[in-house]
């Protein structure tokens, strides 16, 4: 059953000039979203009339990436205010929000609003289509975006901030990246390949400078770095060979001092 509820009967005490249409389902009256204004003025609908005010981001048959974007505070639930923010964001970028009611997998580019937000989104959409070889297309789909994301991940400079050895333009830079990975570890890029970020590069050069300063100090003041002279390296190697046993011995001594039963 479809019923038009006059504005003066709406609860919550919030004024609205918009007329909402409701339908009865299972003893519950629910709002029917069938017009463009229903979306653009959704924030005027008192939340007492919402069926639910939040939902989880897991276990919902919906695109997981879209749910993650709606969950602005990343608490695992999408609340009314976050849904309203997402609807408002979308309406500002569409000429007519009624396109949200179309059961179509494609969004025509001319449906985007002639505003800075809409023009910016249209520019991004055209770039996506050009990257996947569909520069002449006048509409875009979610599959197009996914394809472009997969294509972008395979490019050397894909915006993830991770540089892999294969993306180096010269053999010298490739070798440098390999050495940084060996010394400071790596992080996966968008394709899962090992690479480095600015953090690993800065750490590598900081440690290289510290090592260079240590070597220079050993040349200026050898007694501080090489207390045994030429025998220092051999003594250090001998200590390293038995370090584990020495540490184990003193650990056992500490345990015995704490509790004689551990002796």
Separation of alpha carbons 50 and 83, rounded Å: 12
Residue 120, domain member (yes or no): yes
Residue 64, domain member (yes or no): no
Residue given tokens 């400078």 in the structure block: 209
Provide the pLDDT for residue 56: 94
Provide the pLDDT for residue 263: 59
Per-residue pLDDT tens digits for 18-67: 888 888 887 888 888 889 899 999 998 888 888 889 999 999 898 888 89
Whether 106 has a pLDDT exceeding 70, the answer reads yes
Using pLDDT thresholds of 50, 70 and 90, give the confidence band for residue 81: very high
Alpha helix locations (H) across the chain?
36-40, 64-70, 80-91, 116-131, 142-153, 171-184, 198-220, 222-225, 232-258
Whether 16 has a pLDDT exceeding 70, the answer reads no
Residue 139, domain member (yes or no): yes
Show the tokens assigned to 210: 């510290």
Residue 62, domain member (yes or no): no
Residue 244, domain member (yes or no): yes
Decide: residue 49, CB within 10 A, 0-12 exposed, 13-18 middle, 19+ buried: middle
The number of domains in the chain is 3
Show the tokens assigned to 244: 């584990």
| 184 in Cβ contact with 200 (< 8 Å) | yes
255 CB-near residues (< 8 Å, 6+ apart)? 262, 263
Show the tokens assigned to 156: 């050397």
- Which helix (DSSP H) or strand (DSSP E) does residue 32 occupy? strand 28-32
Per-residue pLDDT tens digits for 137-170: 999 998 898 888 777 767 766 777 888 898 888 9
Verify that 168 and 146 share a domain, yes or no.
no
Provide the pLDDT for residue 8: 42
Provide the pLDDT for residue 174: 93
Verify that 220 and 203 share a domain, yes or no.
yes
Provide the pLDDT for residue 262: 60
Look up the domain containing 243 and give its range: 234-263
Provide the pLDDT for residue 15: 56
190 CB-near residues (< 8 Å, 6+ apart)? 152, 153, 158, 160, 162
Query: Mean pLDDT throughout 91-95?
Result: 92
Residue 204, domain member (yes or no): yes
In sign, the C-alpha dihedral spanning 228, 233, 235, 240 is positive
Using pLDDT thresholds of 50, 70 and 90, give the confidence band for residue 77: very high
Provide the pLDDT for residue 259: 75
Verify that 170 and 214 share a domain, yes or no.
yes
The number of residues in the chain equals 263
Provide the pLDDT for residue 13: 54
CA 134 remoteness from chain centre: 27
Per-residue pLDDT tens digits for 193-251: 899 999 999 999 999 999 999 889 888 888 888 888 888 889 999 999 999 999 999 99
Verify that 167 and 214 share a domain, yes or no.
yes
Provide the pLDDT for residue 172: 94
Torsion of CA 22, 23, 26, 27, to 10 degrees: 50
Residue 9, domain member (yes or no): no
| 97 in Cβ contact with 91 (< 8 Å) | yes
Provide the pLDDT for residue 179: 95
Verify that 171 and 217 share a domain, yes or no.
yes
Residue 96, domain member (yes or no): no
Verify that 174 and 214 share a domain, yes or no.
yes
Separation of alpha carbons 100 and 178, rounded Å: 49
């Amino acid at each position: 059953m479809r019923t038009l509820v006059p504005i003066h009967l709406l609860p919550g005490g919030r004024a609205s000039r918009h007329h909402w249409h409701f339908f009865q389902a299972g003893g519950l009256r629910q709002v029917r979203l069938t017009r463009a204004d229903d979306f653009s003025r959704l924030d005027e609908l008192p939340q007492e009339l919402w069926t639910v005010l939040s939902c989880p981001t897991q276990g919902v048959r919906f695109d997981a990436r879209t749910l993650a974007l709606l969950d602005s505070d990343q608490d695992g639930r999408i609340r009314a205010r976050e849904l309203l923010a997402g609807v408002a964001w979308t309406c500002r970028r569409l000429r007519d929000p009624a396109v949200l009611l179309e059961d179509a997998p494609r969004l025509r580019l001319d449906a985007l609003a002639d505003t800075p937000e809409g023009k910016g989104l249209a520019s991004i959409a055209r770039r996506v289509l050009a990257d996947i070889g569909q520069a002449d297309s006048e509409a875009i789909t979610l599959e197009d975006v996914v394809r472009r994301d997969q294509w972008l991940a395979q490019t050397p400079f894909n915006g993830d901030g991770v540089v892999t050895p294969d993306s180096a333009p010269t053999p010298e830079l490739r070798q440098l990246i390999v050495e940084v990975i060996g010394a400071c570890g790596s992080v996966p890029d968008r394709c899962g390949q090992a690479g480095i970020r600015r953090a690993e590069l800065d750490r590598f050069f900081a440690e290289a400078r510290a090592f260079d300063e240590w070597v220079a100090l050993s040349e200026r003041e050898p007694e501080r770095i090489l207390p045994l002279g030429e025998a220092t390296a051999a003594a250090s190697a001998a200590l390293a060979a038995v370090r584990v046993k020495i540490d184990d011995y003193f650990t056992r001594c500490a345990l015995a001092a704490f509790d004689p039963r551990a002796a």
